Amino acid sequence: MITVKHTQSILLRTLLAMAIALCSLASVAQTDRIPLPDMGNSASGILSQKEERQYAQALLRQMRALDVLVDDPLINDYFQSMGFRLVAQSDKPDKEFHFVVLDESRINAFAAPGGVIALHSGLILAADNEHEVAGVLAHEVAHITQLHLYRALESSQRMTVPIALAMLGLILAGGGSGEAVQGALMGGTAMSQQMQINFTRHNEYEADRIGITTLSLAGYDPEGMAGFFSKLQRLTRPNGEGPPEFLRTHPVSVNRIAEARNRAQNMPRVQPGNGLDFLIMQSRLRAMAESKPVDAIAWFRDQLDQGHTQARDKALKYGLAIALQRHTEYDEARALLQELLAEEPDRLAYQLQMSDLYLDEDRDEYAIEILGSLYHSFPGNHAIAMQYAKALLANEDPQRAETASIILRQQILYRDEDPALFALYARSANIAGDKVRATEAIAESYYQRGGIKEAIEQLERLTQKEDLDYYERSRVSARLMEMRIEIADMRDGERNS
């Protein structure tokens, strides 16, 4: 029997594949410079700004619902910062973007409507340095800023993106029910047949040209893009199916690599440094992505035996410490972290991992001491705030839970689409005795994971409580109305498409 979860996963893969394919369609824009002239509103008019935002949020919620995103504050903050650094130097620095890391071993990346850019974890692990990953991101940013998706749709006279995302909305509006998923999946079959469009490589060349300029302006090595493309051409997939997925969705030729390299040579070069920040995030991703910690331990030990640069060896030790901790080998993990901290006592990744180790060992006070100091030095840092709140909640003390609630409410002001943040806030509010705020936060956590029906049910039950004060009832009722309107809009959009 095919489960709802399975069919949801199939549909999401279809939608993501379409997003990738759309980025390979023909584009009429040809230019070498930033900023570019406005090519008119017809292409961008396929979706309004409001629709773009709604579709991006719907896609992100469904990704979370299917648990295909890497959910780690340190990793996400690092690659989001990289993405926004590039956007700031693009010709559309004010455009809304969303950068995510997919828990997917295939080497690929894609851009989707609404400014969603996804890196596969496999691509990050295949890169040698941050400049190569930044090159891929710059390429995807250019796909969006140059309206490649919309221009392709305009030229083909097909409304594939609105149809695809209306289907996504149907699933969300149906709360992931079997009928909603199966109905959308049937639509997906016809939709995939509709995608038989002749692709060209013009937009890929344009994304290269614009992306390399953006890469250089953002302070990254402009050689990063060509270097990564060249490396991928030399790789073959381990199962013998041919080149990495990235080359299937982003065709790379010798001429294209040569052109990218020539363009990069005419731009200021960047001294790459030791790249330790990237190597640490890469090791963290590898240690956390491996389903069997013992396999990760073996991989890191083997790499350390081979000998590398000092920076890479540090990153490998950090990754080994995480893998050992996951395997409950706490003593060796602690020894490695202490060695790393002795050399760099202020490196945040090491400090946070040591605090996490203390929490696993039920040594909460040691973790709170580290995290309290970090939080007071960097109160806006999301990874620190989340870890500090978790530590404060470890012994379920109401007073500490109130402190955690204050910390998390500050984070929600800037990250109101993070389900893990709302889930942790719900726990803190519940321990602190604020049952209303706890239920509201649970509802938001459901909502951000694609469970809008479950979110509505939570809020409806809350409105039935007789002891809500005027402000609580007004707040809950207003949010409930917003969700009901959103479901109605999703269903209308599906019918119209």
Catalytic residues: 140, 208
Whose CA is closest to 134, among 315, 264, 286?
Answer: 264
Closest CA to 344 of 329, 354, 331: 354
Q: Which are the contacts of 184, defined by CB distance < 8 A and separation ≥ 6?
A: 11, 167, 168, 170, 171
- Phi first, then psi: what are they for 99, rounded to 5°? -110, 125
Residue-wise DSSP of 319-340: HHHHHHHHTT-HHHHHHHHHHH
Backbone phi and psi for residue 140, each to the nearest 5 degrees, phi listed first:
-70, -35
Cβ within 8 Å of residue 187, ≥6 positions away: 163, 167
H/E run at residue 100: strand 98-102
DSSP letter string, 460-493: HHHHT-TT--HHHHHHHHHHHHHHHHHHHHHHHH
Cα torsion through 321, 322, 328, 333, rounded to 10? 20
Alpha helices, H only, 307-397: 310-326, 330-343, 348-360, 364-377, 382-392
